[in-house]
Structure 1
Amino acid sequence: MRRFRSESGAAAVEFALVVPILLLVLFGIVEFGRIYNAQLQVTSAAREAVRVMAIQKDVGVAKAAAVLSAPGLQPALSSTQVTVTPCVSATETTVTVTYSVDLLSGLFADAVTVTGKGVMRCGG
Structure 2
Amino acid sequence: MFNQFKHLLSRLRRCERGAPAVEFALVAPLLILMLMGTLDFGLAVRAKSETEAAARAALQKGFGNMWDTVAMTTAAKAALSYDPTVQDTLALSTMPSCYCNGVLTDSGDTCTKESTCGGGGRPEYYLTINVTRTYDMLLDYFIVSDTLNLTASATARTQP
TMscore range, shorter length: 0.7 to 0.9
SS of residue paired to 1:12? helix
What residue in structure 2 maps to residue 78 of structure 1?
88
DSSP 3-state at the match of 1:91? strand
1:43 and 2:52 matched: yes
Indicate conservation of the 8 Å contact 1:82/1:95, yes or no: yes
SS of 1:24's partner is helix
Which structure has more relative contact order (CA 8 Å, sep 6+)? It is: 1
Say if 1:52 and 1:65, in contact at 8 Å, map to a contact too.
yes
> Does the residue aligned with 1:7 lie in a helix, a strand or coil?
coil
**8 Å CA contact retained: 2:131, 2:151:** yes
Correspondent of 2:157 among 103, 117, 121: 121
Change (3 A) 1:109 1:17: farther
Structure number, greater radius of gyration:
2
TM-score scaled to structure 1, two decimals? 0.84
Structure 1 residue runs of 5 or longer lacking an equivalent are none
1:16 alignment partner, SS class:
helix
Give the Cα–Cα distance (whole angstroms) in 2 for the partners of residues 76 and 66 of structure 1. Answer: 11
How far did 1:61 drift?
A: 0.7
Q: How many residues align?
A: 123
Instruction: Give the C-alpha shift of residue 95 in structure 1.
Output: 0.6
How has the CA–CA distance of structure 1 residues 66 and 98 changed in structure 2, closer, same or farther, with 3 Å as cutoff? same
What corresponds to 2:71 in structure 1?
A: 61
Structure 1 CA distance for aligned equivalents of residues 130 and 84 of structure 2: 17
Label 1:113 to 1:39 Cα distance change in 2 as closer, same or farther (>3 A).
Answer: same
CA RMSD between the two structures:
2.2
> Any conservation in 2 of the 1:31–1:103 contact (CA below 8 Å)?
yes
- Alpha carbons of structure 1 residues 116 and 72: separation in structure 2 relative to 1, 3 Å: farther
Identity of aligned residues (%): 30
Q: Tell me, in whole angstroms, the C-alpha distance in 1 between the residues paired with 2:84 and 2:96.
A: 24
How many angstroms does 1:5 deviate by? 3.3
Partner of 2:135: 101
